[in-house]
Amino acid sequence: MTSQTVVVHDGAKLLAAAVAARLIVRLTDAQAERGVASLVLTGGRIAAQIYAAVRDNPARDAVDWSRVDFWWGDERFLPSGDPDRNETQARDAFLAALPVDPARVHPMPASDGPHGTDAAAAAAAYAAELDTAGGAAGGAGFDVVLLGVGEDGHVASVFPGHPVGADPRTVADVHDSPKPPPVRLTLTLPTLNTAAEVWLLASGSGKADAVREALTGSPATLPAAKVHGRDRTLWLVDTEATESLPARP
C-alpha cells in the first residue's frame, strides 16, 4: 500500500483550479508513456468545479482528448439524461466541450437502457465492458481515479456499514442506499484499488469530520480510508475540510 499525501488549498475555487491543472499534467504524462490515458470520473459539487476548470484551462489542449478513456466510479441508476446522473453532470461540465472520442466514453448503464431496471444485470454489463477494455481486470488499469469524499466518509457508492463494502465483484449494484436514490451502480473497493493513482477530493467544513477520521482513525473503518492507488494516493482538499485535524498535514 502506498503512503498518503495530503495537499491543502485555500478554498474550493483554488482547489478546483489546482486539481484541474494537476489532472491535465497527469493525463499528458500518461499519454507520453503509453499513447493513451484512462480516467475514472466522480460526481458532486467540487467535481463539477474541477471539470469546468479543466474545460477553461488553456493547457487542456496538451491532452489528446480523443485518446482518453472515461469511466465512472459510480452512478445513480436513473434514466439517461437525468440531471442527477453523474454522467449528465460530467457531459454538461466539460465532456461536451472537449474533442473526445465517443467510443472512449463509458457511462454506466441507465435505468432506461438495454437492461431496463435490472440493476444487477447493468452492473454485470459494466464489469464486462471494463474487462473487454482491460480497465480493471487487466492491462495497465486506470491512470487516475477521482473520488469525492462524502460527509459520512463514503466514496463512489460504497457507504459505511453497507454490504457493498465487502462485495468482491468488479462492479456492484447497490440497493437501499442511505442517500437517494436508493438504487445505484458502483465500482467496488477492489476495483478502485487497481488504479495507479487515487485522488480523494473534499471541500467544505461538512467534510471535516470524515477527512479527520479517514486520515487519523485506527483501525480504518470508513470507505475513504480503504482506497489506495498502486503508485500514489492523494488527498486534495481545501482548508475548511481539514479544520478538524489536530494539525495541518
Mean pLDDT of 199-205: 97
Q: What is the pLDDT of residues 206-232, one digit of tens each?
A: 999 999 999 998 888 999 999 999 999
Contact 236, 9 (CB under 8 A): yes
* Res 61: pLDDT: 97
Range of the structural domain that residue 181 is part of: 9-201
What whole-number percentage of the chain has pLDDT above 90? Answer: 90
Whether 136 shows a pLDDT value over 50: the answer reads no
Angle, helices 86-93 vs 45-56, to 10°: value is: 30
Confidence at residue 220, expressed as pLDDT on a 0 to 100 scale: 85
Residue 2 is assigned to a structural domain of this protein: no
Residue 240 lies in a domain: no
Say what the pLDDT of residue 138 is. 39
What total number of domains does the chain contain? Answer: 1
Q: pLDDT by residue (tens digit) across 22-61?
A: 999 999 999 999 999 999 999 999 999 999 999 999 999 9
- For position 135, what pLDDT does the model report? 47
Give domain status of residue 214, yes or no.
no
pLDDT digits (tens, 9 = 90+) for 154-199: 999 999 999 999 999 999 999 999 999 999 999 999 999 999 999 9
Task: Specify the pLDDT at position 22.
Answer: 98
Residue 204, pLDDT > 80, answer yes
Alpha helices in the chain (DSSP H): 12-34, 45-56, 86-93, 119-133, 189-192, 208-216
In a domain, 218, yes or no: no
- The pairing of strands 171-174 and 184-187 is antiparallel
Contact 21, 59 (CB under 8 A): yes
Mean pLDDT value across residues 87-105: 98
At residue 140, the pLDDT reads 52
CA–CA distance, 181 with 67 (Å, rounded to integer): 33
Per-residue confidence band for 247, with pLDDT thresholds at 50, 70 and 90: low
In a domain, 221, yes or no: no
Q: Assign 1 a pLDDT band (cuts: 50, 70, 90).
A: low
- pLDDT of 64 above 70: yes
pLDDT recorded at residue 139: 44
Is the Cβ–Cβ distance between 2 and 233 less than 8 Å?
Answer: yes
What's the CATH code of the domain at 47? Answer: 3.40.50.1360
pLDDT at position 163 is 95
Sheet of 232-238, strands arranged across = 4-9, 232-238, 197-202, 144-148, 37-41, 68-72
